Chain A
Amino acid sequence: MKRRKILSVLLVTVMTATMLFGCGKKNDTPADTTGNSSGGEGAANTGSTGEAADSSEKVTVTFMLSGTLATEGEDFETEQMPRLVEKKFPNVKVEVTKLPDDQYYTALKTKLATGEAPDFMWVQPRYAGVNAVFPLAEAGYLTDLSDLKAAELVGAGVKDFTYNDKIYAIPCGVTFLGTYYNKNIFDKYGLSVPKSWPEFENVCKVLKDNDVQPIVMGDKDMYVMQFGLYQLAANMIYPENPTYDDQLRDGSVKFTDEGTWDKVLERYGSLYEKGYIQSGSLGLGASQAIQKFIDGECAMTFDGTFNLQAINSSGAADFERGYFPLPGNEEGEQLYTAGAPGAGPAIYSESENIDICKQILEYWFDSESDLYKAYESCGKFVSTNEGAVVEPLYEDFMKLYSEGNSWYWCNQAWPAGTENEMEALFGEMIGGAGTTVPDITKGMQNKLEELLAE
């Protein structure tokens, strides 16, 4: 009887142990352990950069990023990139997971927390968002890419991915915020591209007086408020104080200081007050606003180069599109654009495929490679590589950028969450909830201090 009891206890213990170990991590081997012949991952980790690519053993490289799939033609990241990498490195298979922004942030955090992060991950410059490069580098999740040739090829944008003098990601050129406009409507009313704020106001007034809705915005998706505000800030804050955001962090300036963000918010708010941006914008989503623009129901919309494909889609009206930087400058002052280095790939520090990933990056950002050409032609960013072909729509922007008359997007220097507070409070103001400009700047300052304290 006793023997049977012992046997039952033993059996239960073995079952439980089996179950628990079965649920455990698949591979606890540290990343720096040299692999043996049992798998391609080990082979990729032998320390020699050439070995992995030359090996006949299969290596699977995982890549996770945010974004939406291309609606027309092949999607670069999920279709072209794996195909071209596999063509160049026959033993490498690339598994790509592309998720909407919020799902990507959640998935990335979970995977990082469990030590199962993908080999390649998509990161944003500085402190921009959950997948910002600086906090990830600080936490030790990213591989130092300073030794890559690719880092030299992509231009000045790489400094926004440099933390403690080490480069942690390769940015994809630059992305701009600007104003898409309907050239046919502009021509009809004899309007030209405005070069200063008074000129811009005049354009809006002429359109409004002729019963044309000047600007449409989908503020229900509150992030679109940043598109206009950052362009104004690029003209009204940074030219006077290039280190404004650094000073915000050390407390020597505040959002509440007069003549800074209060002016930006007032200026942008005036577009709503005067009816230049359609009333009830808080009930319209971003994609619905783009639809109204391409249907020819209004003359302009603030958006980024990243949305060119949607802006160029055919709608109810057939018209020529134009794009100009929103001029927040006064008459006779220099015009600045809001241009930020685009997000780019980084390599997980505990990846077992670091060497092959580095080789893929070198191939990806080599201007002569098929992969880079495919990347450049996907149109989501403006290439800053030497000799790159610039889309005619972006020529003015590139000119300003190459002359140094461009500022990054404000939120890239703020702790994530500050911009959300700004959007929510600005939404209250334009929605008539009684919130004022000083309430917004105070709210932004409080949120900034709270986030910095953490």
Chain B
Amino acid sequence: MKKKKKHKSLVMTNKMFWFAVPAFLMYFTFWIFPVFQLFRYSITNFNGINRNYDMVGFKNYITLYKEGTLFHAIPNTIIYAVVLVAVSNIIALALALLLNANIKGKGIYRTAAYLPTLFSAIVIGFIWSYVYMPGNGMIATIMDSLGMDGSKFNILAGFKSALYAIIAVDIWKCIGTTMIIYLAGLQTIDSSLIEAGKIDGCNGWQMIRLIKVPLISATITINVILSVINGLKAYDYVFIMTNGGPGKATNTLMYSVYKLAFTEQLMGKSAALSVVAFILIIAVTICMLIFMNKREVEM
């Protein structure tokens, strides 16, 4: 019987794989292992302090379902993600199209649009708390100077408005990064295709809709997926600006995880909620990826 000839690479010989072992071990120790630990903690009643904890099976998951913790946090998280994805991508794409045109001083405009990204969440949250501050805040003062009653402006205290006020801050912060990615995508478009469009009589809108947007579909996929993940993981501005309040109006999934673990010391239950969030984020991301890739091909 003829022995099947093994394919041998001159560059990557079999023994070269041994050199990947340290990296794999690091990866296993610091990424895979902690994730498995999270699963393990989710079936315990660990309180984060006392190491004498018991295995409680799926009790944490059942309690999360029965108490409605999941159903409180998920709608807010979904609203957060949907508004963030839609608004930030539309504004960022519009900005990128504008800043890709031949206008004077576009370098300055690009820098200005990217600037908010350079600040940390804590700084931005703090600044915007003062922008939104009732009475003496920036918006209230502007309203007063325009003859409107600024004293009634109290967006973070409203049960219906607080979540959107926080999302607006997140959009303001992340728009720069999204815009830069769109800008990079727009610059990869072959100028001959634009010229061909012009010769065929395309107007500005047709140029965007029929040529530019389809050609940056891969960039749109990246930006939408990143925004979805960012939205589903929303935590920092909620923590800094409202602490989940007023009441529980801005409780997101990640903020609930934090609150369970570090305020209520229910580390096991918090781990269970993290597992649910982990699965949810992966499922949504995969679905979005499949959908967006399909759209890319169609475009």
Instruction: List, in ascending order, chain A residues with CB within 8 A of B245's CB.
Output: 219-220, 222, 282, 424, 427
- A–B complex contacts, Cβ < 8 Å, 28 sampled: A12-B22, A15-B22, A20-B25, A113-B48, A130-B48, A130-B263, A130-B265, A135-B47, A135-B50, A136-B49, A219-B245, A220-B157, A220-B243, A220-B245, A222-B243, A280-B134, A280-B154, A282-B157, A283-B155, A284-B133, A284-B135, A292-B135, A416-B264, A420-B264, A428-B159, A431-B157, A454-B47, A454-B265
Instruction: List, in ascending order, chain B residues with CB within 8 A of A427's CB.
Output: 245-247
Closest chain B residue, CB of each to CB of A426:
B247
B51 at the interface (CB under 8 A from A): yes
In whole angstroms, how far apart are the Cα atoms of A284 and B15 in the complex? 64
Instruction: List, in ascending order, chain A residues with CB within 8 A of B248's CB.
Output: 424, 428
Q: Are A109 and B48 also in contact (CB < 8 A) when A130-B262, A222-B245 are? A: yes
Q: Size of chain B's interface in residues, with CB distance under 8 A?
A: 44
A112 at the interface (CB under 8 A from B): yes
In whole angstroms, how far apart are the Cα atoms of A20 and B30 in the complex? 11
User: Are B156 and A282 interface neighbours, CB within 8 A?
Assistant: yes
CB interface residues, B 155-201, toward A, < 8 Å: 155-159
User: Are B247 and A424 interface neighbours, CB within 8 A?
Assistant: yes
Instruction: List, in ascending order, chain B residues with CB within 8 A of A428's CB.
Output: 159, 246-248
Among B51, B247, B262, point to the contact of A431 (Cβ < 8 A).
B247
In whole angstroms, how far apart are the Cα atoms of A427 and B29 in the complex? 43
Interface size band for A: 35 or more
Instruction: List, in ascending order, chain A residues with CB within 8 A of B134's CB.
Output: 280, 283-284
B-contact bits for A319-338, CB 8 A (1 contact / 0 none): 00000000000000000000
Instruction: List, in ascending order, chain B residues with CB within 8 A of A136's CB.
Output: 49
Q: Are A288 and B49 also in contact (CB < 8 A) when A105-B262, A220-B245, A283-B157 are? A: no
Among A8, A220, A283, A450, point to the contact of B67 (Cβ < 8 A).
A450
Q: Are A106 and B154 also in contact (CB < 8 A) when A12-B22, A431-B159 are? A: no
User: Are B157 and A12 interface neighbours, CB within 8 A?
Assistant: no
B61 at the interface (CB under 8 A from A): no
In whole angstroms, how far apart are the Cα atoms of A285 and B19 in the complex? 54
B219 at the interface (CB under 8 A from A): no
Chain B: minimal CB distance from A140 (Å): 8
User: Are A283 and B154 interface neighbours, CB within 8 A?
Assistant: yes
Instruction: List, in ascending order, chain B residues with CB within 8 A of A8's CB.
Output: 15, 18
In whole angstroms, how far apart are the Cα atoms of A427 and B159 in the complex? 10
Instruction: List, in ascending order, chain A residues with CB within 8 A of B67's CB.
Output: 446, 450
Instruction: List, in ascending order, chain A residues with CB within 8 A of B247's CB.
Output: 424-425, 427-428, 431, 433, 435
Closest chain B residue, CB of each to CB of A109:
B48
B42 at the interface (CB under 8 A from A): no
Chain B: minimal CB distance from A111 (Å): 11
Closest chain A residue, CB of each to CB of B241:
A220
In whole angstroms, how far apart are the Cα atoms of A424 and B159 in the complex? 12
In whole angstroms, how far apart are the Cα atoms of A139 and B156 in the complex? 40
B252 at the interface (CB under 8 A from A): no
Chain A: minimal CB distance from B231 (Å): 23
User: Are B25 and A19 interface neighbours, CB within 8 A?
Assistant: yes
User: Are A281 and B266 interface neighbours, CB within 8 A?
Assistant: no
For the complex of A and B, 10 pairs with smallest distance between CB atoms? A417-B264, A283-B157, A428-B247, A282-B157, A283-B154, A280-B154, A139-B50, A282-B246, A283-B156, A427-B247
Closest chain A residue, CB of each to CB of B266:
A454
Q: Are A283 and B133 also in contact (CB < 8 A) when A19-B25, A20-B25, A220-B242 are? A: yes
Closest chain B residue, CB of each to CB of A419:
B263
In whole angstroms, how far apart are the Cα atoms of A12 and B16 in the complex? 11
In whole angstroms, how far apart are the Cα atoms of A73 and B129 in the complex? 28
A395 at the interface (CB under 8 A from B): no
A141 at the interface (CB under 8 A from B): yes
Chain B: minimal CB distance from A102 (Å): 7
In whole angstroms, how far apart are the Cα atoms of A435 and B29 in the complex? 47
Instruction: List, in ascending order, chain A residues with CB within 8 A of B133's CB.
Output: 283-285, 288
CB interface residues, A 77-110, toward B, < 8 Å: 102, 105-106, 109
User: Are A16 and B155 interface neighbours, CB within 8 A?
Assistant: no
